[in-house]
Structure 1
Amino acid sequence: MPRMRSAKQQLKRYLQSPQWREHLHDIAAGGATHVGPLFSFLPLDSQTMHRAAVALGLTTARLAEDEPEAARNIIRRFMWHLNEESGNIGWGIPEAFGESLAASPLLAGDFHRVLISYIINLGRDDNYCDNDILRRSCYWAVGRLARARPQLCAAARPWLRKGLDDKDVICRGMAAWALGGLPPDIMDAPALRRLAAAGHDECCELFDGDRIHEKSVSDLARETLAQIAPAGAA
């Protein structure tokens, strides 16, 4: 047990180091033995959570190459944590889900529709995440996958567009950011323009691949709108 605790603490030190990316290869090489500790870091502070999600995604992708069913079981574990019946809140789970699909073409092909389903509100029994704070992470996860594999996220566009009017203001900003990961579409412009003009200065937390930074909801709408230029500038 002390040896396991020591290994866990070493992983945590790696992720909280300024040179954390230099350790990712070794973390992923640990395979299934590192999955549990990485899961335990997901409820921590935002920066550690995102870095743990990256490491868990790469570890899962590495497993998918040699033990695809073991990797699929990790994704199913994400799905269970996001299931209301599990009794879990799921902090950090959408981020790890998105990172895993971004890192693995096999897993992305198998599970991208499931990830997108958490932002699809059909008004009946579905996978829609009705926890406002957790749903922010779901929008981020879809945006992360969209930036890595946009062809798999085309079906998310109408739901991201609908997310620009989400009842949670931060979700609106995250939906705008996620739309920015897809090829520009003039049909997104009207809703983005309304959100950009609304003057929402609430801040969204974003992970740039290394650290957390903040941008306002309306600024994110303006940035995505600018990608549709010249239509967005009209």
Structure 2
Amino acid sequence: MSLRKEMNLLLSENRYEELVERALQNPAIIKYLFRPLYHPYGAQRWQAIEALGRVTEAMAQRDPEAVREIIRRLLWSMNDESGSASWSAPEAIGEIIYRNPDLFKDYVAIVINASEEEIFHRGIAWALGRIGRQRPDLVQEFLPLLVEFLRHPRAEVRGYAARALGQIGPPAGEALSKLEELVEDRTVVEVYEGNKIVSYQVNELAKEAIAKINGKPR
């Protein structure tokens, strides 16, 4: 079986522990985790994001610089000069930082600088929530950006921003009034949870965020 087919099989069956073991044995398999990130939708891109997070978490114990090189590759893939943009690179970088915040916290601001490109707004909102869930202090300065995203023309950005503020929790208290403006937004967005894609209305994500910020998880 080729490395690509092996990776696809392990991803499709959520066999992350085996995938990590194989990646540590043969780092060449990691390049195949980048390909799903060029797709804007679908479960496989989320599986690749989680796999990259798990692989780099293990790699960082041996060779942090190798992980930094992966992050640099992801950042480059967001650059127009790379040939084509990797839609899901912000989520992947966010997942890597989430799993090793002390080692890679310096990359938070760097990935947020891509916020000028609208195609990355959804991913940046997700990444801020993911990192903020673990280390609210690392995303505190970017709360105004998430609040701005609550009025984004794309529903998925509004929904992801609301969810992110809920993950950050009480430190995002100043966003409450803006979140309340979304309680009538019934636009449906997709969220990846429990190894599957789940549909939520934006107002559901906003109400959950409000509850969490108020210290009353739903």
- What's the TM-score, normalizing by structure 1? 0.81
Match of residue 49, structure 1, among 42, 45, 69: 45
Deviation at 1:22, TM superposition (A): 4.4
CA contact (8 A) 2:90 2:127 kept: yes
Q: Which has the larger radius of gyration?
A: 1
Which AA in structure 2 matches 1:130? E
CA contact (8 A) 1:102 1:145 kept: yes
Aligned: 1:225 with 2:213: no
CA contact (8 A) 2:38 2:85 kept: no
Which AA in structure 2 matches 1:221? A
CA RMSD of aligned residues (A): 2.3
3-state DSSP of counterpart to 2:199: strand
CA distance in 1, matches of 2:204, 2:212: 13
- 1:112 aligns with 108
Which AA in structure 2 matches 1:15? L
Alignment of 1:32-181 (within 5 A): 32-43=27-38, 46-119=42-115, 128-131=116-119, 134-181=120-167
CA contact (8 A) 2:155 2:189 kept: no
CA distance in 2, matches of 1:219, 1:87: 37
> Any unmatched runs of 5+ in structure 2?
none
Match of residue 186, structure 1, among 146, 159, 173: 173
Which AA in structure 2 matches 1:166? H
When the two structures are aligned, how many residues end up with a matched partner? 214
Deviation at 1:194, TM superposition (A): 0.7
CA distance in 1, matches of 2:100, 2:83: 28
CA distance in 2, matches of 1:58, 1:209: 16
CA distance in 2, matches of 1:160, 1:229: 18
Residue 230 to residue 110, structure 1, CA distance change in 2 (3 Å): closer
CA contact (8 A) 2:169 2:209 kept: no
Which AA in structure 1 matches 2:167? G
CA distance in 1, matches of 2:106, 2:52: 18
Runs of 4+ in 1 over 4 A off after TM superposition: none
What do the CA deviations read for 1:151-205 (whole angstroms, capped 9, x no partner)?
A: 2111121111111112323211111011111132432111000111xx3222222
> Any unmatched runs of 5+ in structure 1?
120-127
Residue 84 to residue 64, structure 1, CA distance change in 2 (3 Å): same
Deviation at 1:225, TM superposition (A): 1.2
CA distance in 2, matches of 1:99, 1:28: 17
- What's the TM-score, normalizing by structure 2? 0.87
- 1:122 aligns with none
Residue 95 to residue 88, structure 1, CA distance change in 2 (3 Å): same
Which AA in structure 2 matches 1:223? E
What do the CA deviations read for 1:68-107 (whole angstroms, capped 9, x no partner)?
A: 2221111111111112332322122122111111122344
